[in-house]
A and B are shown apart, each in its own frame.
Chain A
Amino acid sequence: MISLQNLTCTFHAGTPNAKTVIRDLNLTVDAGEFVTIIGSNGAGKTTLFNLISGNLLPTSGRVFIDGEDVTAHPEYKRARTMGRIFQDPLAGTASNMTLEDNMMITCKKGFKWPVISLNRKMRAYFCEQLVNLKMGLESRMKENISTLSGGQRQALTLLMMVLSNPAIALLDEHTAALDPRNAAIVMDLTTRFITEHRLTTLMITHNMNHAIAYGSRLLMMDAGEIIIDVSGADKARLTVPKLLEMFSTVRRKAFENDEVLLAAG
């Protein structure tokens, strides 16, 4: 489904500030896989997503989606097969517009023509979908998005992503900005939607327990490289201490991210 070949991304290439953030990276993700990605701050996780989504162009290397070389395709074209959710709950919705307007914009991918599709049937459909979130949003469809809490916005963004029917979901620490209760709700919705819609998913998380508990495959990134890649039975047997031990064997140093260690605690 996703194949990255010799991907390298260097910021400010050719200047004294040159900084290689992704280093000759190779990765193949099969359709239906649910991959969790973990790594210290600055490891290049978000940059990896930017390269897959087309938000950034690689300095060298190729990106294939579904067998097609999309390295030169602009972000909006690649987006037709991809959903993406950011850490910032504000990033996925337009706050100056109503809930139903936001849903109308996001329920279908691709160019929008000047036709009115937001009719009674559509509203009933949105309402029915919102009930699934169990947040009472179905009665607030005419309210502005800005009146929603971060957790509600993120849950809604997730729902809207699923409705637009992508093949791939890129989730970038999408629960990190939420309080624990809302984070748990959004994580539950995430796993439910991924299973129901058989999405090929890449999920970045700073929570080692989540990375181990969820998904079928775990990647650990460090300094622009994938240093650990476990799946199947090996992943099922993984624990936090084991993961930390694997890291220090590979890198000959201790894992040094307080945030990750705390979250693992």
Chain B
Amino acid sequence: MLEGIFVEGLIYAIMALGVFFTFRILDFPDLTVDGSFPMGAVIMATALSGGINPLAGLLLAFSGGVLAGFVTAAIHNRLKVPHLLAGILTMTMLYSVNIRILGNRANLPLLRVDTIITHVSVATRGLIPADWASLLFFAMVVLAIKFALDLFFHTDMGLVFGALGNNEQMVKVQGVNPATLKLIGVGLSNGLVALSGAFAAQYQGFADVNLGQGIVVSGLASVMLGEFIIKSNRIGMLTLRVILGAILFKAIMYLGRFYGYYINMTPNDLKLIAGILIIASLAVTNYRRIRGKGGTAA
């Protein structure tokens, strides 16, 4: 079970990194995530069932997510629609698109197909137990993505992303079109989210168009939990704490699922818990800020 928490935490961490990019760096609260996460899952499942190589499937899922992000950013940029509404529009349309991708059904099991996880366990058979092999594999994937992101935020483009959420006027004065940056940023973010969905489908052994319900809330909860664990403004620490936050979030959800029945909780209550976690984080942050302003904070 312990490996399970970590593996799921790591898979969701990829999604949380995408949420972190839009919510925290771009200051673009993007709800596309609830549609692009299952989109990654259904693209992956369809690709695998069609006999496509898992790596190619991951690439397809990532590209699908990028496109979904482009749509949201374009609606926002071109039609001057607020972020939230643009995201909701894309998310809603994606529900139908995802059913189309699955061939007019709502879910697809991956029973007799070789997923990337099967490949990993075959490659490591006899060396380490299968559970630990997946854990190691996902740890490597997530760290690779983390370091790629860290590197990206040190590039000229990445630095401008940092400035955009803070001071859009400054970005314009530099001769950079904020609309282009938002397109790239929201695209990349949803690419990561879809990638996470693609891994989740393979780990769970099925894809379902309802997989994404409330995903953005769990992503945001992970980001906020991470912010409690580590205080820093260095990019390497920011991405690290998102990952830790996602694992912690999964752990809390596991506790809720396995021990919740003592207090009459059912798995259906987990979304409520996720929402309450966010509200509690906001309340504590607010309290700290007020106390900080009063000058009494240590």
Contacts and interface: CB of A to CB of B under 8 A. Distances in A.
B92 interface: no
Given A101-B159, A113-B157, A116-B155, A94 B167 contact: yes
Interface in B139-175: 151-152, 154-160, 162-163, 166-167, 169-175
How many chain B residues sit at the interface, stated as a range, is 20 to 34
A97 B159 CA distance: 9
B181 to A, nearest CB: 9
A76 B171 CA distance: 8
Interface string B261-296: 000000000000000000000000000000000000
A44 B180 CA distance: 31
Contacts, number: 93
B174 A105 contact: yes
B104 interface: no
B239 to A, nearest CB: 16
Contacts of B152: 114
B166 A112 contact: no
A51 to B, nearest CB: 15
A94 B233 contact: no
B213 interface: no
Contacts of B169: 86, 91
A190 interface: no
Of B154, B169, B172, chain A has the most CB atoms within 10 Å of the CB of: B172
Given A76-B177, A76-B178, A105-B160, A94 B155 contact: no
B156 A112 contact: yes
Of B167, B171, B176, B233, chain A has the most CB atoms within 10 Å of the CB of: B167
B157 A106 contact: no
A91 B158 CA distance: 20
Interface stretch (A77-85, A194-202, A248-256): A77-85
Interface residues of A, number: 35
A76 B167 CA distance: 14
A101 B167 contact: no
B98 to A, nearest CB: 30
Contacts of A76: 171-172, 174-178
A94 B164 CA distance: 8
Nearest to B158: A114
Contacts of B163: 94, 97, 102, 105
Given A116-B156, A118-B154, A75 B167 contact: no
Given A76-B176, A76-B177, A164-B174, A113 B156 contact: yes
Contact of B162 (A94, A109, A110, A164): A94
Interface string A92-109: 111111000110111001
B154 A116 contact: yes
Of B169, B170, B178, chain A has the most CB atoms within 10 Å of the CB of: B170
Nearest to A104: B159
Given A112-B156, A114-B158, A116-B154, A80 B175 contact: yes
B176 A91 contact: no
A115 interface: yes
B64 to A, nearest CB: 22
A112 B159 contact: yes
Given A94-B162, A94-B166, A95-B166, A115 B155 contact: yes
Nearest to A117: B156
Contacts of A180: none
Of A90, A112, A144, chain B has the most CB atoms within 10 Å of the CB of: A112
Nearest to B167: A94
6 tightest A-B CB contacts, nearest first? A112-B156, A94-B163, A109-B175, A80-B175, A114-B155, A94-B166
12 contacts: A76-B171, A76-B172, A76-B176, A77-B175, A91-B170, A104-B156, A104-B159, A105-B156, A106-B174, A114-B156, A115-B155, A115-B156
Interface of A: 74-77, 79-80, 82-84, 86, 90-97, 101-102, 104-106, 109-118, 144, 164
